[in-house]
Structure 1
Amino acid sequence: MPSLSVADVKPGSKIIKDVVTPFGGVLFAKGKVILPRDMEILQAFMIELVEIEGSDAEHKTTDSNKGSAKTTSTKAAAIVKDRNSTPLHDEYDKMLALIKKSYRSVTAVTLPIYELRSQLEALVIHIKDYHVLKFVPRMLNEQDYNYHNAVLSALTSYKIAQWCNYPQKDWMQAAIAGLLHDIGNAKVDPSLLHKAEPLSSGEKEEMRMHTTYGYQFLRNVTAINEGVRLAALQHHEKIDGSGYPLRLEGSQIHFYAKIVAVADIYHAMTRARAYRKAESPYLVLEQILKESFGKLDPVIVQTFIQKTTELYTGTKIRLSDGRKGEIIFTDRSNPTRPMVQVEGGKIVNLAMERELNIQEIIS
């Protein structure tokens, strides 16, 4: 069957056979016409050959290559078994590749907002399968933290806008705000973003400039609304006026920024960074609840906690003392401290045993 090296594929070419990722998911379906942005995605997934309509190239496979392909297929199958391969994950990976490309080029070229929005729309089609506390991306590494934070914040911001009963027209805008809220980090010295040691006062000030840089990047992008721009500028503002960069208060902060602030804090704290380990999602929810007193919008926080925790009766977990179990009851007045049945049948009431917490959600 005719195949072509990815390096030789041209935008406008038509795929005649599904392009499959190493994880077993369909990256591009048969019949798709390759767009310029798709080249980056193919390279990100280390795809070497694509079967293109009208190609004269012949892909000759030796017995050795067949054996190698069989081994690769077996490894891929193992990965699929260990990590869910779903349409949500497939679209997530495409979104990740595109936002990574956008970060790397935003200082030199115009942000590809139409492509970003198109891929985000493809991603949120699967929003019903996205569970905030439970979803784990397939490819996680520390260097890609900012890109994962962008995509996860987009999904979570969409959910929050939906849960808080904002008009439907705001759901996607909130998601775009989540996707682009940290775009200003593209102008920050990369060594600061990944520094393991505490930042100096001067370095902290430079890091804080990402909000201003982000607004400046988005100011001239015509296909987004002002709320998205303001979310980039204001997502570190606090309702008591103690935030930055402008020390705004309450109603001065755009509600997209208030939504994104909650999503950003949750994903920042539950992901490993160079200077600290990932924290338990339930402990993070408790810390966000504390932040709601004078810092974060209390209605958004309470809605976020109630909605994220109501889905998990029967969820298998690991406690901070190492015991495994499953959630059997969640008290709506204390949603971050459910009752858990551990191995052996014992019931642990986390509302009473405050020294324990849910350290990890297993499945």
Structure 2
Amino acid sequence: MDETFKIDDDLIEDLITFYNSGDILSPQERLELEKVLHRDCMLSYTIICNEGEYFMSLLNRNTEYISVKDLITGMVLAMDIVSTYGTELISKGSILNDHFIEVLQKLNYEEVLVYKSEVPQDEQLKSETHINNYVDKGYEVDKDKIKKLIQEVGNGNPLDVEYVEAVTGSIARQANTNLPLKILEKTISKDDYLYTHSLKVALLASLLGKWVGLDDKNVSLLAKTGVLHDIGKSKIDKNLLDKQGALTTKEYSLVKKHSEYGYEILKNIPDIEREVVLGVLMHHERFDGAGYPMAIKGEKISVFGKIVAIADVYAAMVSERPYAKKGCPFVIMDYLENECAEQFDLTYLRPFLYNIASSYIGNNVILSNGEKATVILVNSREFISKPMVKTEDSFVNLAKERDFKIVEVLPLLDS
């Protein structure tokens, strides 16, 4: 970052808003924050907590602090890299690669805690190696398992519950990593859309469950609901599901039956939990009553129905579909935040949008004026889809500069 960049009063106000989600600071707290910002030229803006202290992990004999400029690929983080609000950006135990090091530089970390030698076994599970292995291999394995499940039911065979449990366990374990967000970047075959979509919904639903504080059992059940949420489509002509372009009114009415078909398939299976069955039935219901099949509203919709609904819509819009092109994550988040806010329970929508948006901190994006920028900060309460970004020579608060918006998120290799 250019150390001669001037931090003016407007930028200070924006940063205080981002740091504290609009909370009122005491004069002393404000003064301390301004001192840090002016002193470090924002060198600590992503690692200030509410008390104005740096996020740090306790040192032990197997760890040491290393300057970010001295980091090399292969080193292993001994601390979580988090945003101001505690959202995990890079997991403890991750093996540093060129992208992670560049993200730390863009976020202006001065030093991080790394392991001196061998990585503890429990940290290896969260490592970048584990994530890459799943993206490259495990993802395809789980997708093929879901494909087999749906096709078997479509062929008139009973649902293999043990098989469902096996794939659910694999997916639920990924909720402890940042893997589900990487899965969204994968290019998928349109022929396999139904199966990859079910996997993505399962990953996102379990991740959202984790974000809102659900226990491991319910996170696992959310993964199961995601796997099964479109099982009813096994009873619908695949040619109709894969049709290019808009459906006729009659065709759309047939497709809408899938949530009821799914309920009928699952409702009498003793080993499928009631929460899962209701989530499958209600994942197209909307908080304002505009959904289907029952057009119920508000608290009549089950928690799983509400969570899977959000995961379902986002996973669909961010993917290439037989009938629509994939959208830019920030354009989709803006749509959900501003045009669909009444359709979803904000208890779940806001944390979902905030955590998705925060996962792009450090990524390069393209603005509507063609300029390249880096996502710097995300507000947790409003204008979540309009973060603060840094262009080559200035900071831009997209919540205020309404003439600009993010139109493309660059792949990690270009960030």
Unaligned runs of 5+ in 2: 1-130
Tell me the residue number matched to 1:314. 362
Pairing partner for 1:105 from 126, 131, 152: 152
Per the TM alignment, residue 93 of structure 1 is displaced from its structure 2 partner at its CA by 1.4
Q: Secondary structure at the match of 1:337?
A: coil
The answer (yes or no) to whether the contact 2:245–2:324 under 8 Å persists in 1 is no
Q: Secondary structure at the match of 1:326?
A: strand
Pairing partner for 2:143 from 90, 96, 99: 96
Tell me the residue number matched to 2:334. 286
Whether 2:388 is the aligned partner of 1:339: answer yes
Q: Secondary structure at the match of 1:294?
A: helix
Tell me the residue number matched to 2:285. 237
Per the TM alignment, residue 244 of structure 1 is displaced from its structure 2 partner at its CA by 0.8
| Displacement over 6 Å in runs of 4+ | none
* Counterpart-to-counterpart distance in 1, 2:179 and 2:398: 22
Whether 2:205 is the aligned partner of 1:157: answer yes
Whether 2:402 is the aligned partner of 1:329: answer no
- In structure 2, relative to structure 1, the CA distance for the partners of 1:308 and 1:268 (3 Å cut) is same
Query: What amino acid is the match of 1:335?
Result: I
Greater CA drift, 196-205 or 86-95: 86-95
Root-mean-square deviation (CA, aligned residues, Å) is: 2.1
Tell me the residue number matched to 1:228. 276
Whether 2:246 is the aligned partner of 1:198: answer yes
Pairing partner for 1:296 from 337, 340, 344: 344
- In structure 2, relative to structure 1, the CA distance for the partners of 1:248 and 1:357 (3 Å cut) is same
* Counterpart-to-counterpart distance in 1, 2:409 and 2:328: 6
The answer (yes or no) to whether the contact 1:318–1:362 under 8 Å persists in 2 is no
Q: Secondary structure at the match of 2:342?
A: coil
* Counterpart-to-counterpart distance in 2, 1:167 and 1:362: 33
Tell me the residue number matched to 1:254. 302
Per the TM alignment, residue 302 of structure 1 is displaced from its structure 2 partner at its CA by 0.8
* Counterpart-to-counterpart distance in 2, 1:196 and 1:182: 19
Q: Superposed, which structure 2 residues align to 1:31-46 within 5 Å?
A: none
Unaligned runs of 5+ in 1: 1-83
Q: Percent identity?
A: 28
The answer (yes or no) to whether the contact 1:94–1:119 under 8 Å persists in 2 is no
TM-score (norm 1): 0.71
Query: What amino acid is the match of 1:94?
Result: V
Deviations 1:210-245 (A, max 9, x none): 111111111232221011111111111112222111
Query: What amino acid is the match of 2:150?
Result: Y
- In structure 2, relative to structure 1, the CA distance for the partners of 1:287 and 1:233 (3 Å cut) is same
* Counterpart-to-counterpart distance in 1, 2:276 and 2:135: 24
Per the TM alignment, residue 149 of structure 1 is displaced from its structure 2 partner at its CA by 1.0
Deviations 1:288-346 (A, max 9, x none): 2235533111110011112222233212223344443321222334221122223x434
* Counterpart-to-counterpart distance in 1, 2:321 and 2:140: 20
Greater CA drift, 195-204 or 305-314: 305-314
Q: Secondary structure at the match of 2:141?
A: helix
Per the TM alignment, residue 189 of structure 1 is displaced from its structure 2 partner at its CA by 1.4
Per the TM alignment, residue 89 of structure 1 is displaced from its structure 2 partner at its CA by 4.2
Per the TM alignment, residue 110 of structure 1 is displaced from its structure 2 partner at its CA by 1.5
The answer (yes or no) to whether the contact 1:150–1:178 under 8 Å persists in 2 is yes
Pairing partner for 2:178 from 117, 125, 130: 130
* Counterpart-to-counterpart distance in 2, 1:179 and 1:299: 23
Query: What amino acid is the match of 2:351?
Result: T
TM-score (norm 2): 0.63
- In structure 2, relative to structure 1, the CA distance for the partners of 1:138 and 1:331 (3 Å cut) is closer
Whether 2:264 is the aligned partner of 1:264: answer no
Deviations 1:81-100 (A, max 9, x none): xxx84235422211100001
The answer (yes or no) to whether the contact 1:177–1:229 under 8 Å persists in 2 is yes
- In structure 2, relative to structure 1, the CA distance for the partners of 1:85 and 1:286 (3 Å cut) is same
* Counterpart-to-counterpart distance in 1, 2:256 and 2:328: 26
Q: Secondary structure at the match of 1:86?
A: helix
Per the TM alignment, residue 349 of structure 1 is displaced from its structure 2 partner at its CA by 3.1
Q: Secondary structure at the match of 2:139?
A: helix
* Counterpart-to-counterpart distance in 2, 1:361 and 1:139: 14
Deviations 1:11-51 (A, max 9, x none): xxxxxxxxxxxxxxxxxxxxxxxxxxxxxxxxxxxxxxxxx
- In structure 2, relative to structure 1, the CA distance for the partners of 1:191 and 1:321 (3 Å cut) is farther
* Counterpart-to-counterpart distance in 2, 1:362 and 1:248: 40
Query: What amino acid is the match of 1:300?
Result: Y
The answer (yes or no) to whether the contact 1:89–1:137 under 8 Å persists in 2 is no
* Counterpart-to-counterpart distance in 1, 2:293 and 2:164: 27
Query: What amino acid is the match of 2:405?
Result: L
Whether 2:411 is the aligned partner of 1:362: answer yes
- In structure 2, relative to structure 1, the CA distance for the partners of 1:301 and 1:188 (3 Å cut) is same
Per the TM alignment, residue 260 of structure 1 is displaced from its structure 2 partner at its CA by 0.2
* Counterpart-to-counterpart distance in 1, 2:136 and 2:369: 31
* Counterpart-to-counterpart distance in 2, 1:221 and 1:88: 32
* Counterpart-to-counterpart distance in 1, 2:314 and 2:216: 23
Deviations 1:267-308 (A, max 9, x none): 111111222211111111122223553311111001111222
- In structure 2, relative to structure 1, the CA distance for the partners of 1:202 and 1:297 (3 Å cut) is same
- In structure 2, relative to structure 1, the CA distance for the partners of 1:221 and 1:290 (3 Å cut) is farther
* Counterpart-to-counterpart distance in 1, 2:162 and 2:339: 35
The answer (yes or no) to whether the contact 2:198–2:230 under 8 Å persists in 1 is yes
